[in-house]
Each structure stands twice: as C-alpha cells, then as structure tokens.
C-alpha cells in the first residue's frame, strides 16, 4: 500500500491520525511516518484498514436494509425503529416481522393497538411488545401466547448469531467490554488482534 492509498482509506474511514493509531494499536508517529511515505506501510496495516472499510461499507448497506424493513412493516408498529439492532441480527428481525405480519389479527394492524421495541441488551436481541386488544380479550390472549414463543425463539437465535455479520459459525460471547456474540473473525477484530 502506498501513502496515497493509506491516506485515502484513513479519510474514507473518517479517522484522525490519533484515531487511526488507536485502532491499529500503534503510535501517532508511526501513522504520520506511513502517511508521509517516510516508512513503508506494513501489510497487516493495509489489511486491517481494508477490513475496517469493508465493515463500514456493509453498515451503509445495512442502514438501507433497516429503512426498508421499517417502511415495509410500519403498519405493524408505529415508530418501528431498528437503529439499535446490530447488523448481523437484521435477518432474524426480518423473519420475526414476516411471521408477525402473517399472524397478527387484522384489527391490530393499525399501529395503535400493537407496538414493538427492538434493541440489543446484554448480548441478546430484545423484543418488547405492547398489545392493546381492547374488548377482544380472547384473541388478544391467543395472540399474546403465540408471540411470546416467537420472541423467545428470536432472542435465543440472536445469542448464537454473530451480531456483526450474521454467521452462526464459531460464535462466542466477547470476553471483555460490551458483551456480544461474535464470530471468531469479529472477536479478533474487536480485540485488535487482526
């Protein structure tokens, strides 16, 4: 990697020299020397910056996916917001919303009677529903029983799914910092080992 490509990647990642040094686990002097062309940029640095750029690009795609899901299922829950759901769990959320859309009683599909909060908490997807069935207590109870099982299944699936990329291969919880289930690659990236 040459100094121009290095600077371009750093700019694309919107990282200052100090932030770049922190992300790479090196001194700011090293970053300055690489950027000026004084020292050759090690291959591991080039690889790490490319990986960060890939993750960043994927997150832009995921913002579009989030907006599309929010728009597609807004009739289920007013103010449906997926901004706190990690990227890797969006397919779990989409399957849950598809299932919900197929099973929610028609008279509850107005956004006022039912709402759903979605977020990550303690390393797991959290789905917090609110249901106001009005006078139709029987259908409300049947629906509530149905949805509790689906919520539990989605939350358990999230604990076995990498919160970053969605793979279920070699997933384990992080050992330090924010508790999240991550695949081996994302655990190593988080720990700064690659």
In this prediction, residue 62 carries a pLDDT of 59
Whether residue 137 is found in the same domain as residue 87:
yes
Whether residue 30 is found in the same domain as residue 99:
no
In this prediction, residue 155 carries a pLDDT of 94
Q: At what angle do helices 43-72 and 90-103 cross, to 10 degrees?
A: 10
Give me the number of domains the chain comprises: 2
Whether residue 9 is found in the same domain as residue 47:
yes
Tokens representing 83 are 């901004």
Domain contains 68: no
What CATH number corresponds to the domain at position 14? 1.10.260.40
In this prediction, residue 61 carries a pLDDT of 60
Whether residue 168 is found in the same domain as residue 121:
yes
Distance CA 88, CA 192 (A): 20
Domain contains 58: no
The domain in which residue 127 lies consists of 73-191
Q: Note down pLDDT in tens along the chain; length 194 residues.
A: 788 888 877 877 778 888 888 888 889 999 999 989 999 998 888 888 888 777 666 655 656 777 788 888 777 766 677 778 888 898 899 899 888 888 776 656 655 567 778 888 888 999 888 766 665 666 667 777 888 899 999 999 999 999 988 899 999 988 766 788 999 888 888 776 55
Domain contains 57: no
Whether residue 41 is found in the same domain as residue 126:
no
Whether residue 122 is found in the same domain as residue 180:
yes
In this prediction, residue 107 carries a pLDDT of 59
Whether residue 22 is found in the same domain as residue 105:
no
**Residue in 55, 86, 93 with CA at minimum distance from that of residue 171:** 86
In this prediction, residue 113 carries a pLDDT of 64
In this prediction, residue 49 carries a pLDDT of 83
Domain contains 63: no
Beta bridge partners of 124: 121
Tell me the pTM: 0.62
**What phi and psi, each to the nearest 5 degrees, are found at residue 12?**
-65, -35
Whether residue 112 is found in the same domain as residue 176:
yes
3-class secondary structure per residue, the chain: CCHHHHHHHHHHCCCCHHHHHHHHCCCHHHHHHHHHCCCCCCHHHHHHHHHHHHHHHHHHHHHHHHHHHHHHCCCCCCCCCCCCCCHHHHHHHHHHHHHHHHHCCHHHCCCCCEEEEEEEECCEEEEEEEECCCCCHHHHHHHHHHHHHHHHHHHHHHCCCCCCCCCCCCCEECCCCCCCEECHHHHHHHHCCC
């Amino acid at each position: 990697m040459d100094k121009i490509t290095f600077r371009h990647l750093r700019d694309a990642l919107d990282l200052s020299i100090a932030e770049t040094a922190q992300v790479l686990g090196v001194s700011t002097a090293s970053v300055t020397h690489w950027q000026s062309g004084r020292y050759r940029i090690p291959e591991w640095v080039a690889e790490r910056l490319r990986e960060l750029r890939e993750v960043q690009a994927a997150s832009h795609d995921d913002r579009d996916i989030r907006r599309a899901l929010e728009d597609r299922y807004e009739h289920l829950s007013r103010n449906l917001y997926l901004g706190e759901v990690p990227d890797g769990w969006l397919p779990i959320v989409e399957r849950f919303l598809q299932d919900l859309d197929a099973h929610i009683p028609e008279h509850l599909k107005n956004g006022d009677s039912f709402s759903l909060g979605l977020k990550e908490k303690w390393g797991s997807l959290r789905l917090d529903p609110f249901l106001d069935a009005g006078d139709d207590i029987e259908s409300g109870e049947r629906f509530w029983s149905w949805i509790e099982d689906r919520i539990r299944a989605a939350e358990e699936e999230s604990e076995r799914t990498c919160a970053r990329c969605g793979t279920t291969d070699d997933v384990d919880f992080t050992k330090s910092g924010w508790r999240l289930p991550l695949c081996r690659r994302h655990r190593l990236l988080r720990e700064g080992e690659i």
